[in-house]
Structure 1
């Protein structure tokens, strides 16, 4: 078995292994305001051999009006989708996008939820791949179906858990949305502005350096350590608007060696769907 990557992989390392038969690359590009963007961009040019996975169709489940904008997909359905891309239990999977890992991190988290450890995000995404002189392809990969057996992990919490632990020291809720949306300003995606009471704000873009790559592990460890204030990483529950960008904060913590945090996948879009749940506004 070739080298294993479980958090991030650089463009140079991926280029050396992209044609390895045990490796599967997945294009996760998406635009929240233009759902067709990702697939059309994929058809124009993608990493050689990459399979396209759509956030709405492949990496999310059915919406019912109260479970958020991107509810988790059915695990068995997701496993079957991965298998059609040639992903098996021992495959090294690499996810990429053109949004600094915003969408690729969702696939990374989902695969870890299924029990898969050999999955990484291309650090810096498509932009870094191109800036390193790597080519794109517009050929669709030949299908090579595999089999995938899932072993679900307890990496998530439900809305009732969050509600029951509001204000408790055993839950540190970290919101990955932009500061203005956290404060309840400029909300354009959800019908209610604000945040879950007691949450603190760590915009997912704060994990990135000036080149759009993740900061060094030591820097991330220091920055998240300031938020933790001595708490165990296992007390952390990540959320965002719909359970997508929060995955980038999970990835950042894992990259920093701060393991064990969990995801509230329903996030703000699920939370605010019930007017009985409390809402906070402002910076605190």
Structure 2
């Protein structure tokens, strides 16, 4: 059985027992303490899990940093997006997947211990690389522990080298120019996943400019989860997104956040709700506000 959106802790337990071709990734991270996620992984993780570092594995961190952290490398090292966490190009990402033993015939499972904030990035990137069989562990490491799942500590044995082959992109990635061209048009509905005070421009702890892209709607990513950290039921998510969108077409949605990471729970929630697989502006606010000619809204 393949899992393409969510997997429960109980389903993962059964899958790990039955299927050796499962690659589990721990994506735990802390923006304010970048090494904390790896330290937490070493202390406790799901057996066989590989650590996927947001800043080294899931972002382009090579080349010459430009203004506001934008990577200006070119050629083979050119990233696929701007922003504080620019996407590595697909070829670089495939090389990393191969190095950690990920194969095209494998089921991937991603999780974190941060309320789903970070593991959605790898879920989306695998779809972007053409790999459909990836699921997010609903409820994260906490749900695994609550279900009686075992934990391991320390570094896992080095995985065997594999040969991950890129396939057709299964998601839609847009850039700042596309967003700018479509501003104010019915063909584009922007949803910003940042906390409301950041969206309004009342505070801005990470980027040099406060505010949001004009016309964007605000749905903080945390609104997709129950108090236990699991995604809300599909019908509830559908009702909430349709209320937010009003007369706007769900197919027009482009998700973003600060740097293209916490937007993914919104994107995944819309898919769970049966509203389709919508687009991502991966550069997000950190990319948008790096160009002073782009408009900014507040309030």
Q: State whether residues 56 and 70 of structure 1, in contact with CA within 8 Å, keep that contact through their aligned partners in structure 2.
A: yes
- Give SS of 1:43's match: helix
Range that drifts further, 135-144 or 81-90: 135-144
Q: State whether residues 101 and 125 of structure 1, in contact with CA within 8 Å, keep that contact through their aligned partners in structure 2.
A: yes
Q: State whether residues 241 and 268 of structure 1, in contact with CA within 8 Å, keep that contact through their aligned partners in structure 2.
A: yes
- Give SS of 1:250's match: helix
Q: Structure 1: where are the runs of 5+ without partners?
A: none
Alpha-carbon offset, residue 258 of structure 1: 1.2
Aligned to 1:98: 113
Alpha-carbon offset, residue 152 of structure 1: 4.1
Aligned equivalents of 2:201, 2:89: Cα separation in 1: 31
Aligned equivalents of 2:95, 2:272: Cα separation in 1: 28
From 158, 164, 167, the counterpart of 1:151 = 167
Q: Structure 2: where are the runs of 5+ without partners?
A: 71-81
Q: State whether residues 47 and 137 of structure 1, in contact with CA within 8 Å, keep that contact through their aligned partners in structure 2.
A: yes
Alpha-carbon offset, residue 85 of structure 1: 1.9
Aligned to 1:28: 27
Alpha-carbon offset, residue 230 of structure 1: 4.2
- Give SS of 1:269's match: helix
Q: How does 1:22-171 map to 2 (within 5 A)?
A: 22-62=21-61, 63-65=65-67, 66=70, 67-139=82-154, 140-153=156-169, 155-171=172-188
Range that drifts further, 134-143 or 246-255: 134-143
Q: State whether residues 239 and 268 of structure 1, in contact with CA within 8 Å, keep that contact through their aligned partners in structure 2.
A: yes
Aligned to 1:222: 239
Aligned equivalents of 1:99, 1:45: Cα separation in 2: 14
Aligned to 1:18: 16
Aligned equivalents of 1:239, 1:275: Cα separation in 2: 19
Aligned equivalents of 2:105, 2:268: Cα separation in 1: 20
Give TM-score scaled by structure 2 length: 0.91
Aligned equivalents of 1:235, 1:227: Cα separation in 2: 13
Range that drifts further, 48-57 or 252-261: 252-261
Number of equivalent positions: 280
Aligned equivalents of 2:284, 2:225: Cα separation in 1: 22
- Give SS of 1:238's match: strand
* RMSD of aligned residue pairs (Cα, Å): 1.3
Alpha-carbon offset, residue 232 of structure 1: 3.3
Alpha-carbon offset, residue 239 of structure 1: 0.3
Aligned equivalents of 2:110, 2:173: Cα separation in 1: 21
Give TM-score scaled by structure 1 length: 0.95
Aligned equivalents of 1:52, 1:58: Cα separation in 2: 9
